[in-house]
Structure 1
Amino acid sequence: MSQPMYHQLNPLIRLKENELLTPEVFQQLIEASDFKQLEAILAGTVYGTYVDDDFANDFEKSLNQELLSTFSELAAAAPNPDLVWIYTMRYTFHNLKVLTKAYYTKNNYDNLYLPDGIYTAEELKRAVETGKSSVLPKSLLKSILEVREYMEESSIMQGIDVIYDRQFLTEQRRLADELDYPALSEEIISFIDLTNLTTALRCLEQNRTQAFMSTVLSSSGSIPKDTLMSFAEKDLRALIDFILASTYGDLLAPVFEGDEIDYARLDLLKDDYLSGLFDGAQTIAFGPLPLLAFLNNKDIEVKNLRLILVGKRSGFTKEQIKERMRMTYGL
């Protein structure tokens, strides 16, 4: 990948980094006593555009709109929009799940659509309904066709999630290999490994068969799929010991208490670990790393902001909110 292609984009990234919420602002939000105070703090930030009389009841829509605006702007400015899509692809596959289930159940789930900045709801709907598209990449259309084939023989909706989840990881690795940027490849492979390990742990806790594990695990990580499948014949402790002895052992050790697994903490540690892979982006002037780091930071920022807003509305304590927050730019 030619790094000079990014010399015009990265100044824009530096400007947008200045719009990210600072640790001080996050601390003020955590300390806020009510939604009015939250709104007053956000009014002085990039989110101030969305603060209106309905913000308290409609902030999810506002946060989604901010992500859409950011993703769309950067996809249009990036030398290769696939660099943006590799981060927003999780929303694309979420949308495919929602729209596919809506199609087969004859329900309307448009309110669950999450913008990815790349493909519109209409484009995805058309592909789900017809199995054809002149817009979507062939690999994405292949996923849709696999689901259509599955639904011809089954009415179990869970299969839709299983197929799309597996294809999502496959597509992540395919695109990372195609883009051929080391920092991105490391992040994607680690993401797939940690997702596979989480899935394998849940499978063993639920006494899933080896055949089921073969269906839900991805072959795109660095840990062989067959290795993880072999634990279907063993007890949970054997898999935990394998994880503790692996490259991810030190990272994941805090989630295990005997044979008990803290999945919420596992997800938090996973996100923080993946964010940490981009720690040096602020000192790099060339290449796509600043773009990748900003996309990650923006995504985590919205997760943290959503956590605070939901937490305040649900009566979470300040400590409960803090312990659930992800690591992001300066935080």
Structure 2
Amino acid sequence: MQEIDYKGVNTVLRTYELNLLTEADYDRMLKASSLKDALDVLKGTGYEFDEKEIQESKNFEAFLMKHLAEVYKELFSITPVSEVVELFALRYTYHNLKVLLKQRFSGEQLEQLLIPIGKDSLGSLKKLVETGDGNDEHPILIEGVQEAIRDFDEDHRIEAATVFMDTYYFKHLRSISDKINHPSVTKMVDGMIDLYNLSTLIRSLKQNKPRGFLYTVLSSSGSVAKRDLIEESVNGPSAVMRKYYSSKTYGTRLANLVSETTNEVDTQKLDKLVDELTNELVAEGLYRPFGPLPLLGYLFAKEKEITNIRLILVGKDNQIEEEILRERMRPVYGS
């Protein structure tokens, strides 16, 4: 696929971008004195919901996910290479597989947690988990489900659903990146996997997890070998960051997350930095007429828009101060 093949898609995207929430929209929502006032602002931006029902149920997730699912469905239908959309949709597929596997392993009814976003239908994913056999799904996805089922059958570990799906998600993500074969996409996926490994390593060390656990949960698909990360982890998170991350373009910003007094890493700030770095990577192509980056930029913006709306609505419902909400906001498209 040549970059010019995205020209038609990117022309359509420019019209979609006009409907994204602006900083002025967010400002009005943040300054709203109540949940009702914030919903009144949102109602004029293209989101459809029953305001009275939402105020009573506080089920923000339902209408937000419905809106996002429609966005993904439309983009899958107009994009010449579905893998580009899958770069962001894939995490929903693996979320759904986690839910379905946990449902199979525990016997609980968990289907209310499924999200109808992804290349593969919920019906096909259900069949895959029920039978262990796939048809049109990606081989990596099928292998991940089969390995999770095998592990549970042998050791009866319900957590196998999460461990295997996280591992195979990044393996699948790397496969998509290799197929697209675009330098900016490769750079973005490298960052996503490397920073996931770092965040997971830091959290695991705080919980005193054994080395065997680290070998299981860390991804082998990043630009830094997980064996190297684990070997260096005996010297602490800051040592890992100095040795393997300081030379990266975002190395200095990572170093700023280390507390001078405790020498520990603030994982909440690390999660926010991941968003900021992804935003910067996709922003490189926002105004290019060709290639996959404008599509990724729009998708990232839409994802963060949903995150910000959820944050504000929950905040207004719980009477959280405006300044606290502003500090927790994710990057705004084009800002």
Structure 1 residues 82-128: Cα deviation after superposition (integer angstroms, max 9, x where no partner): 11111111111111111110112111111211222422222211110
1:71 positional shift: 0.2
Relative distance call for 1:153 and 1:239 in structure 2 (3 A) is same
Unaligned runs of 5+ in 1: none
- CA–CA distance in structure 2, aligned partners of residues 251 and 171 of structure 1: 28
**Mean CA deviation greater in 95-104 or 129-138:** 129-138
- CA–CA distance in structure 2, aligned partners of residues 157 and 55 of structure 1: 34
Q: Is the 8 A contact 1:243 1:249 kept in 2?
A: no
Structure 1 partner of 2:290? 286
1:1-331 residue pairs with structure 2 within 5 A?
1-47=1-47, 49-56=48-55, 57-242=58-243, 245-247=246-248, 248-257=250-259, 258-331=262-335
Unaligned runs of 5+ in 2: none
Q: Is the 8 A contact 2:224 2:244 kept in 1?
A: no
Q: Is the 8 A contact 1:25 1:41 kept in 2?
A: yes
Secondary structure in structure 1 of the residue aligned to 2:116: coil
Q: Which runs of 4+ in 1 moved over 6 A?
A: none
1:205 positional shift: 1.9
Secondary structure in structure 2 of the residue aligned to 1:307: helix
**Mean CA deviation greater in 172-181 or 239-248:** 239-248
- CA–CA distance in structure 2, aligned partners of residues 273 and 245 of structure 1: 15
User: Residue type matched to 1:50 in 2?
Assistant: F
1:59 positional shift: 1.8
Relative distance call for 1:81 and 1:226 in structure 2 (3 A) is same
Structure 1 residues 54-101: Cα deviation after superposition (integer angstroms, max 9, x where no partner): 123222100000110000000010001111111111111111111110
1:179 positional shift: 1.1
- CA–CA distance in structure 2, aligned partners of residues 89 and 119 of structure 1: 9
**Mean CA deviation greater in 21-30 or 244-253:** 244-253
1:144 positional shift: 0.5
- CA–CA distance in structure 2, aligned partners of residues 244 and 179 of structure 1: 25
User: Residue type matched to 2:280 in 1?
Assistant: G
Structure 1 residues 110-166: Cα deviation after superposition (integer angstroms, max 9, x where no partner): 121122242222221111010122231111111100101101112222222111111
Percent of aligned positions that are identical: 33
1:42 positional shift: 1.1
Relative distance call for 1:278 and 1:235 in structure 2 (3 A) is closer
Cα RMSD (Å) of the superposition? 1.6
Structure 1 residues 13-53: Cα deviation after superposition (integer angstroms, max 9, x where no partner): 10100110000000111111112111211121121x22432
Number of residue pairs aligned between Structure 1 and Structure 2 = 330
1:297 positional shift: 0.7
1:244 positional shift: 6.3
User: Residue type matched to 1:196 in 2?
Assistant: N
1:232 positional shift: 4.0
Q: Is the 8 A contact 1:42 1:51 kept in 2?
A: no
- CA–CA distance in structure 2, aligned partners of residues 261 and 316 of structure 1: 26
Q: Is the 8 A contact 1:192 1:220 kept in 2?
A: yes
- CA–CA distance in structure 1, aligned partners of residues 44 and 213 of structure 2: 50
- CA–CA distance in structure 2, aligned partners of residues 183 and 73 of structure 1: 24
Q: Is the 8 A contact 2:238 2:265 kept in 1?
A: no
Q: Is the 8 A contact 2:38 2:316 kept in 1?
A: no
**Mean CA deviation greater in 239-248 or 206-215:** 239-248
Structure 1 residues 182-218: Cα deviation after superposition (integer angstroms, max 9, x where no partner): 1111101110000011111122222222222111111
User: Residue type matched to 1:205 in 2?
Assistant: K
- CA–CA distance in structure 2, aligned partners of residues 237 and 176 of structure 1: 29
- CA–CA distance in structure 1, aligned partners of residues 328 and 59 of structure 2: 22
